Amino acid sequence: MRSSRIGGMMLAAASLWGMASASARAGDITFWTWRQEDRAAFAELFADFTKANPDIHVKFEAFAPANYNTIVSAALAAGHGGDVLGVRAYGGLEQLATAGYLKPLDAKTVPELANLPAEALAAESVRADHRVYAVAFASQTLGLLINKDIFAKAGVTPPTDWAGFLAACAKLKAAGVIPIANGTATGWMDEVMAGIFTGPFLGNGFMQDVVAGRATFADPRYVAALGHLLELRPFMPPGYTGIDYPTAQQLFLSGRAAMFAGGSFEIANFRKQNPKLALDFIAPPAPKAGEPQYVSKFFDGGYAVNAKSAHGADALKLVRWMGTTAYADKFSSLLGNISPIKGVTISDPLLAKVAKLNEVSVPYVMAVYFRYETPTGSELLQNGLQRMMAGSETPAQLGAEVTAGIAKYYKPFQKK
C-alpha cells in the first residue's frame, strides 16, 4: 500500500517535470542574439519575414553580451540553442564552426551569399577550408565621434592631420572642455582607441606585412605608432586611468568632452541618449596633411543556422532573407548599423558618411587576424596598453610583449 503511494508520488513528480518543458508549435523558430536593445526592431523585421513566409514565426531571445558565448556554446554542446544564431566573426565564429555546431552555407543553399563582399564572407568563414558559416550583419567603423557644437564654440575645425589634431586638442582644452573623453580603465576600449589613432600611421602596407609574416608588432612602425598615443594623454580626462567606458560615454554625451574615439556602433546609442547632441563622425588624423585618413574596420558578427536545429529548412529561409537588400535596408535604418550587403541603401546621412569613410580603411588588426588562438592579440594588447598609458611600460616593451605572446601559435613571429 505504502509503496504504491510512493510510486504514485514519483509518477506525479515525473509528469510535472515533463509538463514543465514547453511544447513549441511547428513553424516556430527561435533567434538568439546578444543584442537585447534590438528587440523592438526585430519585432518589425520578423513581422516582415512572416508576411512573406506566413507559416514561419520567429521568436526573439536575447542574452547578456558578457555571457553570450558561454551560453551559446553550452547550449549547442547539449544539442539545444536557437535555430538561427547571432554569432561573432573571426575567431569567435571559428570556434563554434569547427566544433560542428553550425551548418555550413554555400551558394546553393544560400544564393544570397553573392550579395556580400569578399571580406564580409571571410569574416564569417573558417580559415582552413574557407567555408562560410554565417551571413555577416554589420561592418563597424572605428573613428572619432565629435560634438560639433563644442568645436564651433571653441572655434576649432575638425583636424585632418596629426599636428593639427594636437593643436585642436590644446585649443579645446584651453576653452575648458576635455578634448578626448576616453579613459583607459576598460580594456577593449583601449584597443579601439589604439586602433583608431595608429591606423593612419600604419596604413595597409604594415597590415599586409604582418599578415604575410614580414613584420611583427615589435616593428619600428608599430612601436612609433603606439608612441603617438602617449601624446594624447594630456588631452584625456583627469584621472583617465580610472575612467571606464560608461564614464567616458557620459562625459561626451553631457558635453563635457569634445571627442569620443569609438565605433560607428555608438551612433544609434548616443542619439537615443542625447537626441540634441550635434553628432558627427570623422576619420582619425593622418600623419601629415594630404595623406590618407584611414578608419579601422571590422565585421561584428553574422547569422548562422544551428546544425542541430529541428527546423533547419525554416531557419535557412530566415538566414537567406537576412542576406537580401530588403532586410539590409530596413536593418540599417532601424538599428543605425551599416549592413555589408551590396546595394544597401543607407538613408541616414551620418551613417552614409561613415559608409563612405569605409572606402579608406585598414583592418582592425587584432580582431581580424589575431583572435583565433589564445592568448589573443587583443588580450595581450589591451592589458599592455593600460600599462603603457599609465607610464609603467614603453611602446617598445609593449610591441615586444604582444609579439612574444602571439608567437606562441603564430609561426612567422617565432623566427623573429
70 or 208, CB closer to other proteins? 70
Residue 367 parent element (H or E): helix 365-369
**241 lies in the binding site for other proteins (CB under 8 A):** yes
How many residues form the binding site for other proteins (CB under 8 A)?
A: 64
DSSP string, 197-216: HHHHHHHHHHHHHHHHTS--
Amino acid letter, residue 206: F
Q: Least Å distance between CB 364 and other proteins?
A: 11
Closest listed residue to residue 315, CA positions, set 57, 33, 112: 57
Alpha helices in 182-296 (DSSP H): 187-212, 220-230, 245-253, 266-273
117 contacts: CB under 8 Å, gap ≥ 6: 340, 342
| Bridge partners, 337 (sequence order) | none
Is-contact 84 30, C-beta < 8 A? Answer: yes
250: left (phi over 0), alpha (psi -120 to 50) or beta: alpha
Q: Which residues 64-123 are close enough to bind other proteins by CB under 8 A? A: 65-66, 69-70, 73, 76-77, 88, 91-92, 94-101
Q: What share of the chain is helix, strand, coil (3-state, %, to 5)?
A: 50, 15, 35
Binding pattern for the stretch 148-177 against other proteins, x by CB under 8 A and - elsewhere: ------------------------------
Q: Least Å distance between CB 182 and other proteins?
A: 12
**38 lies in the binding site for other proteins (CB under 8 A):** no
Q: Least Å distance between CB 48 and other proteins?
A: 30
334 or 407, CB closer to other proteins? 407
Q: Least Å distance between CB 285 and other proteins?
A: 26
Question: 3-class DSSP state for residue 127?
Answer: coil
93 or 166, CB closer to other proteins? 93
Which among 202-210, 218-226, 275-283, 367-375 is the span making contact with other proteins, rule CB under 8 A?
367-375
DSSP-derived secondary structure letter, 339 = -
Is-contact 326 51, C-beta < 8 A? Answer: no
Q: Would the CA dihedral through 136, 112, 37, 278 be positive or negative?
A: positive
**187 lies in the binding site for other proteins (CB under 8 A):** yes
Q: Least Å distance between CB 2 and other proteins?
A: 5
Q: Would the CA dihedral through 78, 79, 83, 85 be positive or negative?
A: positive
**384 lies in the binding site for other proteins (CB under 8 A):** yes
Q: Least Å distance between CB 299 and other proteins?
A: 13
Q: Least Å distance between CB 150 and other proteins?
A: 17
| CA distance from start to end of the chain | 80
47 or 99, CB closer to other proteins? 99
Four-point Cα dihedral 347, 353, 359, 361, nearest 10: -130
Q: Which residues 213-232 are close enough to bind other proteins by CB under 8 A? A: none
| CA angle 219–223–226, rounded 5-degree value | 145
Q: Least Å distance between CB 239 and other proteins?
A: 3
Q: Least Å distance between CB 161 and other proteins?
A: 30
Give the whole-angstrom CA distance, residue 329 versus residue 44.
13
The bridge status of strand 139-147 relative to strand 257-263 is antiparallel
**12 lies in the binding site for other proteins (CB under 8 A):** no
Binding pattern for the stretch 243-282 against other proteins, x by CB under 8 A and - elsewhere: xx--x---x-------------------------------
269 or 386, CB closer to other proteins? 386
Q: Which residues 48-67 are close enough to bind other proteins by CB under 8 A? A: 65-66
Which among 52-60, 263-271, 345-353, 372-380 is the span making contact with other proteins, rule CB under 8 A?
372-380
Residue 85 parent element (H or E): strand 84-88
Which among 107-115, 258-266, 329-337, 364-372 is the span making contact with other proteins, rule CB under 8 A?
364-372
Distances in Å between the alpha carbon of 294 and those of 95, 189, 199, 203, 297?
A: 30, 18, 6, 7, 9
Q: Least Å distance between CB 51 and other proteins?
A: 35
Cis check: omega of the bond before 375, within 30 degrees of 0: yes
Binding pattern for the stretch 119-148 against other proteins, x by CB under 8 A and - elsewhere: ------------------------------
* Binding residues vs other proteins (CB under 8 A): 1-3, 6, 9-10, 65-66, 69-70, 73, 76-77, 88, 91-92, 94-101, 183-188, 191, 237-244, 247, 251, 366-367, 371-376, 378-380, 382-384, 386-387, 390, 392-393, 401, 404-405, 408
